[in-house]
Structure 1
Amino acid sequence: MDKALLDKIVPLTAIQKQHFKIMDQGQYQYHLNGESTDIQEPWQILENGNLQIVRSVRYSEKYRVKLSVVAHISDGNQVVDISYSEGDSPDINAEYRIDGQGNWKVTQSHPGDIFQQHGCVEGLVIFPLLRIFSGTMLQDCKIDNGQQKQVLVPDIRLATRYNDKLKPSFDLRKTKSLGTNGKGKKLSFTSEHYQEDQAEFYLNKLGQLSQYCWQQKPDVHWQVYLVK
């Protein structure tokens, strides 16, 4: 795991270093058409009592993209700080707050502007984009009496204007279990806005995403693997 990248982009405070215990850590490796890439995505989970901190970074020098997340999770409440940048553009920052009743509030900012929005959606699921959060999201979206789950997703879609990155978007999603094999627990996933051909999701015994594959274009096949 590239802990140096984590410590550089999402460093822990002195108090967090002193009082929080590292419970798990690892990183996701990205392969494009069978070849490794320079995309790095280390993550770390720390705990103190019922408070959990999850920090992760996705960084690529080749693609000139940086995405970082620090989530504070306690008793159904989540505070998620996200930062995103492309190339030499200034960072876009956002704070997402959500509680167990589905109340949510987002503050997004970039140089010269601050955006705020809030609301309430019963049963709302939040997905903070990085792969270490995928397992929880997929399990939270399991089919329940055929009902889809409303998922709150920071927007980093290619078509989104740069200054609108990380603003809230919503997506109806549902997950279905497809049994277990040597790769782990296999899931299928349907989404209102995100459609990926031949997508496969596998979770390990801890419920973490262990493998994720999808066909972006006829000649572009991605594979993501969890390494600890």
Structure 2
Amino acid sequence: MHRSAPRLTRIFASAAIPVMLVVAGCSSDSGSGSDKTSGSGAASGSSTGAKPSAAAVEPAKFAKLPEPCKAITSKTVLALVPKVKNKAGTAGSSSDTSARGGCSWNGLEDKGVKGSNYRWLDVAFLRYESESGLGSGEKRAKEAYAKEVAKTKATEDAKNVKTSPATGVGDEATAIGYDLKKTDETFKYATVVARTGNVVVTLGYNGAGYAGAKTPDAADLMKDALTAAKEAAASVATANK
């Protein structure tokens, strides 16, 4: 190898803007429904002045999430991440796997004098429960979806940001592509934010060429990201059969 160990260390340090941050930032959105409903029986039949109970909200469509590291097929992972370090994926930490979860894969394909290709792929899931006072799970997921799209479009130092609808991915989806300069290389990013029922799915895919390797084509990168995003969104319904 003509590259030093510190060089490879910098390469693997330049992973994607971690979608897992989405997972960590929503711990207050789910799992608290039982505390809010504990007083529902306070009014007895003999209480003439009891207030009517709040209108019931529509039940959430999906009750659980898929296993994040199995939400994208091994065939797709190997195609998108050459020389992947761990094809089984690295799961993100979660205190409530029914509400949030994520997984990531990365790899560096060394082509000798032709340089090296680096790729990073990750997926994150957020499930919203229906709660009185907050609304249905689908309503809450729609709000979270819009916020995630806006957040991705506003990625710090992103250049050439392009956004378009992503058809065929869940109930609604947006594709966001942009460039980001890291470790003296230009990384191409392709992010697909989708909503299926009461679940928000965020799929991130990025890459760069090192030591003479070509920078990934943005259109090709987004095409591959959409393939993976469709699998991830479909896995939610499969997990709830």
Q: TM-score of the superposition, structure 1-length normalised?
A: 0.30
* Greater Rg by CA: 2
* Structure ranking higher on relative contact order (CA contacts 8 Å, 6+ apart): 2
Name the one with the larger strand percent. Answer: 1
Name the one with the larger helix percent. Answer: 2
Q: TM-score of the superposition, structure 2-length normalised?
A: 0.29
